[in-house]
Amino acid sequence: MKALQYRTIGGSPELVEVPDPEPGPGQVLLKVTAAGVCHSDFVVMSWSEAELPFPLPLTLGHEGVGTVAALGAGVTGVAVGEDVAVYGPWGCGTCPPCAGGRENYCLRTMELGIFPPGLGSPGAIAEYMIVDDVRHLEPLRGLDPVRAVPLTDAGLTPYHAIKRSLPKLVPGSTAVVIGAGGLGHVAIQILRALSPARVIALDTMAGKLELARSVGAHEVLTSDEHAAEKVKDLTGGRGATVVLDFVGAPPTTATAAACVAMEGDLTVVGVGSGSVPVGFGSPPYEVTVTAPYWGSRTELREVLDLARAGALDVHVETFAMDDAPEAYKRLHAGTIDGRAVILPNG
Give the Cβ contact number of residue 113 at 10 Å: 11
C-alpha–C-alpha distance, residues 168 and 164, integer Å: 9
Q: Which residues of 56-87 are buried (b: 16+ CB within 10 A; e: fewer)?
A: eebbbbbbbbbbbbbbbeebeebeeeebbbbb
**240: closest CA among 221, 214, 215, 212?**
221
Tell me how long the chain is: 346
- Residues 29-80 have pLDDT tens digits of 999 999 999 989 998 999 999 999 999 999 999 999 999 999 999 999 999 9
Residue 281 pLDDT level (bands cut at 50, 70, 90): confident
Give the Cβ contact number of residue 108 at 10 Å: 15
Contact predicate 126/344, CB 8 Å = yes
Residue 104 has pLDDT above 90, yes or no: yes
Average pLDDT in the 276-295 region?
A: 95
The alpha carbon of 294 is separated from its chain's Cα centroid by a whole number of angstroms, namely 6
Residue 155 has pLDDT above 90, yes or no: yes
The reported pLDDT for the residue numbered 189 is 98
The reported pLDDT for the residue numbered 89 is 97
The reported pLDDT for the residue numbered 135 is 97
